[in-house]
A and B are shown apart, each in its own frame.
Chain A
Amino acid sequence: MSKLFLPRRTLLKGIVSGVAASIALPVLEAMLNSHGDALAEGKPIPKRFGLWFWGNGIRRAHWTPSGTGAAWTPGEELAPLNAVKEYVSPITGLEVKTATHPHHSGFSGILTGKKYFQVGTTRDTIVSTCDGPSIDQTVAEAWKGKAPFRSLELGVCRFRGTDEGTAFQHLSHNGRNNVNPSEYVPAKVFERLFGAGPTTPQISAARKSVLDAVMEDAKALQLKVSSVDKTRIEQHLESIRSIEARLSTTPALCTTPAKPGDYPDSGKEPIAEVNKAQAELLAMALACDLTRVFSVLFSTCGAGTVFWQAGATNSMHQTCHDEPNPQPIVHRATVFTMQQLAVFLETLKATKEGTGNLLDSSAILCTTELSEGNVHSNDEYPILLVGKAGGKLRSGHHYRSTSKENASKALLTALRAVDMTMPSYGEGAGLTSEPISSLLI
């Protein structure tokens, strides 16, 4: 375990709901050197990797920035990000090269650089899952053990998706049908991160004794089952190991922030409120170094969310298909979605860390499973890379491809930003060994 884990006495002012700027004392502060640009022991401030996903695309004519390089202006649907524009690098004009089926192809393509894996073959209806880890888990695997939680997965809009595959219900994948479901309820996120009750070394040891026996069971079981099931049990073992690893470290690393309230749904889903609460909890988790990898499933692939805030009475998916041009509801819903992304990013920006803030150390890939909902297009793909990744990522820079380059290049760029050195990313038509060099420093 990392030495970054902080002493219990390190204090942190609680989150005051609705006022992100009041996160006054990030925990890592205590560990910084006198210049505030590295840790006291000489190690750099850790990098963070994130994923922020929304369902059902954008409208390219209204979202895509004009101008390229440092001189760009967001389209009206991207304009909500103006407050964090210096941290945002839009990547436009790319294409997911593995496109065959609406939603399915784009989801797997933009998260893994590969075609999806099909579950079952005797129906025309495709049920799909990622054929390998999603990009967040590629990083999480490499950074395993650096923080108590390998990764955190949060959800915002309550619609849980359809039965057309894990791709339609979840975001983070460890592999085929191996998912890290998002937690949608802020109070439960809080409970998981900060809610551990009082414990003693004896209690922890007793839990460990139980978990050890469970792992013995699992290992014995692995000898009996098929290779596919062996892999499934291996994940169960890995999950238990992660609990054990936390047992052997000092718990309660941060002073507990205020517990989030409930967000009752009276038919008008409180999306903005949940989004803000989740963002604040995540900022705290990062500031406390509870995790370095995260994903936020704002709305699912093929978004079934009803954006009443935009005047919608039907799901986003249906509205994209049915609403006649110029699609005013789709427009307002897209603006609303980008506003929520802005709130999320602004919350990280407001969380100071040394001389900078959380966005300075992060690389966050923000994207969706197609470019336009009413045509299911996979070209002109909407991608944002946000953050400076500790100085490795050129932020505030619009990269525009005029030759429909492979969308996997954006993924490899995000990976390079957090120092991943694999020679290539993706597979088949999605394979690339070239990051977008103009975005890397």
Chain B
Amino acid sequence: MKRSVATSLLIGTTALGAACGIGSIGNPDGTDPNDPNNNPTVLPDGGTAPPFAPATAAIKRLTREQYGRTIHELFGLGIKIPTDLEVDTKLHGFSTVGSSELTIGPRAAEQYEAAAFDLAKQVFSDPMRRAAFVGCEPKDAADPCIKTFLAAFGRRAWRRPLADAELTRWGNVVTDVTGKLSSVWVGLEHATAGFLQSPYFLFRVEVGFPDPSKPGRLKYDDYEMASRLSFFLWGATPDDALLDAAGRGELATVEGVRTQALRMVASPKARSALKAYFSEYLNLERLELITKDATLFPMMTRELGVAMREEIERAFEDIAFDRQADYREIFTTHSTWTNSGLAALYGLPDPGPGFSKITLPDSGPRAGLLGMAGILTLYAHATITSPTLRGKFVRTQLLCQDIPPPPPGVVTSIEDDGVTDKTVREKLDAHRKDPTCNSCHRFMDPLGLGMEDFDPIGRHRTMEGTKPVDASGDLDGKPFNGGKELGKALAAHPEIGHCQVKNLYRFATGHLETEGEIGQLAELSSKFEASGFKIKSLLVELVVSDGFRYAEVAK
């Protein structure tokens, strides 16, 4: 079911087919009516979702972020991560969705090979380091400790125990290279580099197996679950404890998964991974290279862009982890983090070196995410604000309401009526007056116009040139004035939590939700709400959900 703004606002609530009758003799399709998965879920808009059907399993190429964090897990923090790797392809908002779709082209394979040898060389060029890494001093390629090393490193690198045939294959590589290059250490170095080029390392292999208790589905096995948990919650490869739990069969049950998930979300690694998620979700990586007009905004430097990103990441971390507060507070909070540059931008006293937590004045115009400079800067032009971009951001990113694109052939440029010195609001009046423009722009502009009290780099303003700022806006018929009031309205919006669930689910599973998962998402949203909108709780509920643990039977 598409939840575009067009369907939810223009046509009204869409009911999805007729609800199945709940009788005592079973559902019309022969499934068990007592299994909640077989019954329609009531959606937030009152419609019903199709019965749960898991998505197709797909192998997942490591993202750059995951590659780097995994290398640190495997070799320690002292290792230098190669930088010449392919840039991730984001799809539907996330690199993890791209990594479930993309493969490894010729150039990427070359880059992975060079990176693997670079890493292996870092380890093996240092006699102390290589001995610690391998765990023994092999005499020759026939030394039995080599097999022990291959089994141990292979399990960490490939996130599962290796089969005998695999140990033999890579043992042969050690023997072969040792012969060719006359050193068992060089042989081991090559095998190490080889493990890092194998599809078992570069892809997370997730296939699933038939589960007799759930016919028609595949269940991810213990080691696959270990990877799913770890790459989602930590952005990195599983640790030994998680692999051990998988080895003991503990990840086959909801309880076992929950136990590990609770351990994992308590780790600092979860904070760092979740910050990376929010950064990707909000496109904060773009702040580093954002271009603003240097004459109008000389203070907009790369350093300031990086600080803007840091502020937003810290605000999310504070709510999700430090205070474990209601997620919706991100839209209303008066707590934030600034360094000197940001404080100057906000007209606040210089906090001294580094970042400091500050409290924005209650009476001030700024609060929450929509008052943070990063968002206001990203969704604005280089010289002027863009109520359209800001409105689109709120609609699509925060409320998950897609805006349909203009059809081919529609003229989108605004005609010049010769009047100069117009405010942005006056310029956009053309959108409102032209019915063709207005059919889509009315979903964006009225939201963004209400954020006109902030300039293109997030400074508060009361004047635009010589004219006073009019920051009156409208959210689906409810008037508001200024970004702070919009933040309050969003925090109370019925779809705000659900949209966060959707995005986190896309990031976690690596795909856009399918029709068969819509009910699952609604259930997760109910749980999120019931928890008081706690992100940590949502992380755990997400990984124990059927959508995270099961796959469709491969076609």
A378-B408 contact given A124-B402, A225-B59, CB 8 Å threshold: yes
Are A209's CB and B173's CB within 8 A? yes
Chain B positions 508 through 535: 1 when the CB is less than 8 Å from some CB of chain A, otherwise 0: 0001111100100000000000000000
- The segment from A46-54, A211-219, A399-407 that touches chain B is A211-219
Are A119's CB and B512's CB within 8 A? yes
Are A235's CB and B105's CB within 8 A? yes
| A377 and B409 alpha carbons, distance in the complex (Å) | 5
- Tell me the count of chain A residues lying within 8 A, CB to CB, of chain B: 86
Are B408's CB and A306's CB within 8 A? no
Is the CB of A221 closer than 8 A to any CB of chain B? yes
| A228 and B110 alpha carbons, distance in the complex (Å) | 23
Q: How far is the CB of B412 from chain A (nearest CB, A)?
A: 4
| Chain A, residue nearest B170 (CB) | A213
List of B residues within 8 angstroms of A179 by Cβ: 89, 102, 105
Is the CB of A40 closer than 8 A to any CB of chain B? no
Is the CB of B86 closer than 8 A to any CB of chain A? yes
List of B residues within 8 angstroms of A221 by Cβ: 199-200, 203, 205
A374-B383 contact given A123-B402, A239-B105, CB 8 Å threshold: no
| Chain B, residue nearest A269 (CB) | B291
| A131 and B170 alpha carbons, distance in the complex (Å) | 37
Are A232's CB and B190's CB within 8 A? no
- The segment from A4-12, A13-21, A319-327, A413-421 that touches chain B is A319-327
Is the CB of A153 closer than 8 A to any CB of chain B? yes
Near B by CB (< 8 A), chain A positions 84-139 give 99-102, 105, 119-127, 129
Is the CB of A433 closer than 8 A to any CB of chain B? no
| A213 and B109 alpha carbons, distance in the complex (Å) | 14
| A102 and B404 alpha carbons, distance in the complex (Å) | 11
- The segment from B38-46, B90-98, B256-264 that touches chain A is B90-98
A239-B207 contact given A122-B518, A213-B172, A321-B412, CB 8 Å threshold: no
| A2 and B101 alpha carbons, distance in the complex (Å) | 34
Which one of A123, A180, A217 contacts B92 once the chains associate, using CB atoms below 8 Å?
A123
Near A by CB (< 8 A), chain B positions 285-323 give 289, 291, 293-294
Chain A positions 208 through 251: 1 when the CB is less than 8 Å from some CB of chain B, otherwise 0: 01110110111011001111110111011011101100000000
Which one of A232, A239, A323 contacts B109 once the chains associate, using CB atoms below 8 Å?
A239
Are A122's CB and B2's CB within 8 A? yes
Which one of A210, A323, A374 contacts B411 once the chains associate, using CB atoms below 8 Å?
A374
Is the CB of A375 closer than 8 A to any CB of chain B? yes
Is the CB of A428 closer than 8 A to any CB of chain B? no
A181-B170 contact given A243-B110, A378-B408, CB 8 Å threshold: no
Q: Which of B7, B104, B381, B513 has the most CB of A within 10 A?
A: B104
Are B105's CB and A101's CB within 8 A? no
- Chain B interface bracket (under 10, 10 to 19, 20 to 34, 35 or more): 35 or more
| A221 and B293 alpha carbons, distance in the complex (Å) | 52
Are B411's CB and A313's CB within 8 A? no
List of A residues within 8 angstroms of B381 by Cβ: 313-314, 318
Are A239's CB and B58's CB within 8 A? no
Is the CB of B493 closer than 8 A to any CB of chain A? no
A376-B406 contact given A181-B86, A239-B109, CB 8 Å threshold: yes
Q: Which of A214, A220, A236 has the most CB of B within 10 A?
A: A214
List of A residues within 8 angstroms of B101 by Cβ: 119, 129, 177
| Chain A, residue nearest B194 (CB) | A210
Which one of B1, B107, B405, B410 contacts A101 once the chains associate, using CB atoms below 8 Å?
B405
A122-B102 contact given A181-B107, A202-B181, A306-B382, CB 8 Å threshold: no
| A294 and B207 alpha carbons, distance in the complex (Å) | 36
Is the CB of A295 closer than 8 A to any CB of chain B? no
| A173 and B411 alpha carbons, distance in the complex (Å) | 30
List of A residues within 8 angstroms of B513 by Cβ: 122
List of A residues within 8 angstroms of B407 by Cβ: 102, 376
Chain B positions 1 through 42: 1 when the CB is less than 8 Å from some CB of chain A, otherwise 0: 111101100000000000000000000000000000000000
Which one of A99, A211, A231 contacts B408 once the chains associate, using CB atoms below 8 Å?
A99
A327-B413 contact given A123-B512, A163-B92, CB 8 Å threshold: yes
Are A166's CB and B89's CB within 8 A? yes
| Chain A, residue nearest B389 (CB) | A318
Are B412's CB and A214's CB within 8 A? no
Are A226's CB and B58's CB within 8 A? yes
Are B92's CB and A170's CB within 8 A? no
List of B residues within 8 angstroms of A306 by Cβ: 291, 382
| A121 and B55 alpha carbons, distance in the complex (Å) | 13
Q: Which of A124, A166, A179 has the most CB of B within 10 A?
A: A124
List of A residues within 8 angstroms of B172 by Cβ: 213
Are A163's CB and B207's CB within 8 A? no
Is the CB of B339 closer than 8 A to any CB of chain A? no
Are B199's CB and A375's CB within 8 A? no
Is the CB of A188 closer than 8 A to any CB of chain B? yes
List of A residues within 8 angstroms of B289 by Cβ: 158, 265
| A99 and B406 alpha carbons, distance in the complex (Å) | 13
A242-B109 contact given A122-B1, A227-B555, CB 8 Å threshold: yes
Are B383's CB and A375's CB within 8 A? no
| A127 and B97 alpha carbons, distance in the complex (Å) | 11
Which one of A165, A183, A325 contacts B415 once the chains associate, using CB atoms below 8 Å?
A325
List of A residues within 8 angstroms of B396 by Cβ: 125
Chain A positions 162 through 193: 1 when the CB is less than 8 Å from some CB of chain B, otherwise 0: 11011001100010011111010000100010
Which one of B6, B91, B413, B514 contacts A322 once the chains associate, using CB atoms below 8 Å?
B413
Are A376's CB and B177's CB within 8 A? no
Is the CB of A203 closer than 8 A to any CB of chain B? yes
Is the CB of A83 closer than 8 A to any CB of chain B? no
Are B413's CB and A209's CB within 8 A? no
Contacts A124-B403, A214-B194 known; list 18 others, CB within 8 Å: A102-B405, A163-B90, A169-B90, A179-B102, A210-B173, A217-B199, A217-B200, A226-B58, A235-B104, A236-B103, A239-B104, A239-B110, A313-B381, A322-B414, A374-B411, A376-B409, A376-B410, A377-B408
A-B contact pairs, 13 of them (CB 8 A): A120-B512, A124-B404, A166-B91, A188-B84, A206-B181, A209-B180, A213-B172, A239-B106, A267-B291, A308-B291, A324-B416, A375-B408, A377-B409
Give 3 nearest A-B pairs by CB, closest first. A324-B416, A120-B512, A239-B109
Taking Cβ atoms with an 8 Å cutoff, the residues of B that contact A are: 1-4, 6-7, 56-59, 84, 86-87, 89-94, 98, 101-110, 113, 165-166, 169-170, 172-173, 176-177, 180-181, 186, 190-191, 193-194, 197-200, 202-203, 205, 207, 289, 291, 293-294, 381-383, 396, 402-416, 511-515, 518, 554-555
